[in-house]
A and B are shown apart, each in its own frame.
Chain A
């Protein structure tokens, strides 16, 4: 005969605590009520993102509790020279007996920004997992079908040196421009979009590095370390490297976003990826590299550029500071367009390296300039004179 002792477990009760079981004030008030949605209805993205990062102009009655050594806390609006309507109104003063109220939502124009990609954790991990699965599948298939054997020797050298060198651009900008800027912008919507952009770049950098590792294993004589030497020493790359380092040196977070995603990416990133690698690879027997590079290109062209233009569109059409912002952006363009064009031109020798040549460098450059001008026109920003240099 066996005996059992009663286990100690929590007792379950029927509590009737489900929605709709009772009627009372607020019993049907099932929306977050502290912000006004951008469209008619609150989106899931807005619900999980908006107002997580507080603002003393709204509800933060007791203000920021910790500051840097100069006493500034939180997310100072002065961390960019750009301005959004309403931001010159002072932070509501709170003092003994003042109460705690701030301005009505949104208080200033920065809070009107929404990431058009509506990225939050669920969408982010789904998307990036899918990219990784597809990239891996492409590479695995190529390996199993011995596709790398079709590459001609010059193309092998091109991929090991120059496609490899691009990973450093993605890594450096992903960490020290984008991840860095996720501390700097005034709202949670901005900073989450910036963090997501950062991870796109770091993922792309790693995709290129691990692709490079696969090629080292699959192609006899493939020098898996050549990309480092190219990045450090090849004169064709030093312009790109110089401007990449300059981008990491920007203090103003909005300038960093503008210079990188609006200027550098179309004029250099897309020039290299879309106008060179994607065009040259098929003719040189390579159908794999375009799929790896294309994943990064897709990130930029459909997602990263999209949130960036949505953000700057608000600022260049701001009801109070449009002119101020456009003047500031014009000044940024006068700095970054010459730098990027100069670096782009230094890349020109790469166009002559594959056996089967891509379309001419000048044609590619014209295309990216046109695209760049189109992006600026969409933001109501005139084409800078420097683009014709």
Chain B
């Protein structure tokens, strides 16, 4: 290493930037934000001469640990309950990582500060690191864990599975639409600064408690890069705040990004941490406690609130509402229950809860058993094919939910479901904030102001609708969630690998067809839709249909 100090070296590389004299660089991404040129300093102060050896050293530690895990037979003590959920997580996460790399150029022309572009280029290659190191971790699991099914098919499954589709927002939101909304506010200000805490810090701790020390090794290495990316976002945010014309857009984008991250990340990571663990020590933190610490205290109170004095309008109401959803409305429990209701449409095995789990849940979330206990007892009872059908077809006091058109998590907290008619189609939303995102935020005008660069919500956003009327055996075959004997399902609602206890396509063949609640809703008259909605919002908790009204 050269004896030149990092500060001096960093100062020197600022001489590299130049303004065009003859031709402007191509401008490929739009924004409705305005920036005036500002001498905002590169917060990373990273010089490649020291950056590359630093990353190499981090790699040495990661791959050394991987070697150690294999030689030390780590998988003899890994909890299957935990690793099964990693089939979902590790199929999702490499795409958000690489999408963050792809997002960086969105900022080159829209944020006129060459010094920040250096930091963005380093973030780009950091993200290539994260994506490939995570793919490699998944490959190691596939090779060394007892059940490779679901790991071996992960990127096909991630792309056609509804859970993967929910997770994909956490990637596509970075790379399209208004460049600042996507690559700055959604990606760096909210996703990286707030929610990587639960993704890359809280969750690895839970992995370690379940006998897996490789996930923490890889993800803490990743998280040590995230802290630099957070600085990138902060510098851009301060530049945006300098122009008052941006304040209304910042308010819009913080509301959208916050709420969408809450809906997506809390659904997934909350489920992994609460329902994927075997560690039921009463003094270990619940997801709600982690959320309160990492997101509410560390992000909201320590990072966001101090920005208020610069004119940033903070969505206090949505942050409090997110906590309300997690603590009072059982959001994570509702999601886990839904995932397990639809186990057959997925590609990992989902372990039933036991008395030990019940006791922990009741201790951490008083009242949990009265709401969810009976359903989980039914889940265990119906987990093996002994003449019964999968739980989604059995009478267990559960109403299959409608999809939220915006976040694509179903409308699980029934009382919050709202509807809107767009282009002659009735869409359902899990919450007013998701309706607002679709109907008001992602539009070419916002509060009377032209927003021509704002993105669009696109795609076939209701998974069930694609398979409306299909036999479930055909659905699972179409998605490719079948093992190499041609009939046993990848997914199972239990962890027993005895082939005689595993569900097959034959079991599904005799089940009722898949019917999309959203297709059925749109077949109703206006009055019927209103009645349906009135009934739906009286349902729950735990997916219970609305009680019959007194005559």
List residues of A whose CB falls within 8 A of some B CB: 8, 10-22, 24-34, 44, 47-54, 58-69, 71, 73-74, 94-101, 120-122, 124-126, 128-129, 131-133, 136, 139-140, 167-168, 171-172, 174-176, 179-184, 188, 191-192, 195-196, 198-199, 202-203, 205-207, 209-210, 212-214, 217, 224-225, 227-228, 231-232, 238, 241-242, 245-246, 248-251
In the complex with contacts A19-B143, A27-B147, A120-B132, A67-B466 CB distance below 8 A: no
Asked if A29 meets B152 with Cβ closer than 8 Å, knowing A15-B79, A245-B21, the reply is: yes
Chain A interface: which of B207-215, B327-335, B535-543? Answer: B207-215
Q: Is the CB of A61 within 8 A of B146?
A: no
Q: Does B199 contact A (CB under 8 A)?
A: no
Cβ-neighbour of B457 out of A8, A33, A65, A129 (below 8 A):
A65
B101 contacts A180, C-beta separation under 8 Å:
no
CA distance A133 to B54 in the complex (A): 12
> Are B121 and A12 interface neighbours, CB within 8 A?
no
Given contacts A25-B488, A51-B155, contact A246 B458 (CB under 8 A): no
A125 near B59 with CB under 8 A, answer yes
**Shortest Cβ gap from B42 to chain A (Å):** 13
Between A and B, 27 residue pairs with Cβ closer than 8 Å are A10-B281, A18-B146, A25-B483, A26-B147, A34-B155, A58-B156, A59-B157, A61-B165, A61-B460, A61-B466, A67-B457, A68-B176, A71-B458, A95-B460, A96-B465, A99-B478, A100-B466, A122-B132, A125-B56, A129-B53, A129-B55, A175-B121, A179-B104, A203-B52, A206-B48, A210-B4, A224-B12
Separation of A66 and B181 alpha carbons in the complex (Å): 12
User: What chain A residues lie within 8 Å of B94 (beta carbons)?
Assistant: 52
- Distance between Cα atoms of A203 and B122 in the complex (Å): 10
Is A205 a contact of B490 with CB atoms below 8 Å? no
Instruction: Tell me which residues across on chain A come within 8 A of B124, comparing CB atoms.
Output: 179, 182, 195, 198
- Set A125, A168, A217: member contacting B52, Cβ < 8 A: A125
Q: With A66-B173, A210-B47, A249-B23 as given contacts, are A29 and B281 in contact (CB-CB < 8 Å)?
A: no
B465 A195 Cβ-Cβ under 8 A: no
Residue with the greatest number of chain A CB neighbours at <10 A, chosen from B9, B155, B453: B155
Kindly list chain B residues whose C-beta atoms are within 8 Å of the C-beta of A232. 18, 21
- Any chain A CB within 8 A of the CB of B16? yes
Does B499 make an interface contact (CB < 8 A)? yes
Residue interface mask B437-475, A partner, CB < 8 A = 1? 000000010000000111111111101011111100011
Query: Considering residues B117, B154, B460, B484, which has the most beta carbons from chain A within 10 angstroms of its beta carbon?
Result: B460
Q: Given contacts A121-B133, A136-B2, are A54 and B95 in contact (CB under 8 A)?
A: yes
Taking a contact as CB atoms under 8 Å apart, the answer to whether B48 and A128 are in contact is yes
Min CB distance, B242 to chain A, in Å? 24
| Residue numbers in A under 8 Å from B16 (CB-CB) | 167-168, 171, 205-206, 209
A15 to B139, Cβ gap below 8 A?
no
Which of A14, A28, A97, A167 has the most CB atoms of chain B within a 10 A radius of its CB?
A97
Tell me, in angstroms, the Cα distance from A310 to B105 when the chains sit together.
25
Residues of chain A within 8 A of B346, CB atoms compared: none
Given A48-B136, A125-B52, A125-B59: A10 in contact with B279 (beta carbons within 8 A): yes
Inter-chain contact A98/B466, CB cutoff 8 Å: yes
Q: Choose among A17, A69, A95 the residue that contacts B452 (Cβ–Cβ < 8 A).
A: A69
Task: Give every chain B residue within 8 A of A246 (Cβ-Cβ).
Answer: 22-23
> Whose C-beta in chain A lies nearest to the C-beta of B452?
A69
B338 CB–A CB distance under 8 Å: no
Closest to A177 in B: B25
Q: Flag if B466 contacts A249 (CB, 8 Å).
A: no
Query: Which of B73, B159, B208, B468 has the most chain A CB atoms inside 10 A of its CB?
Result: B159
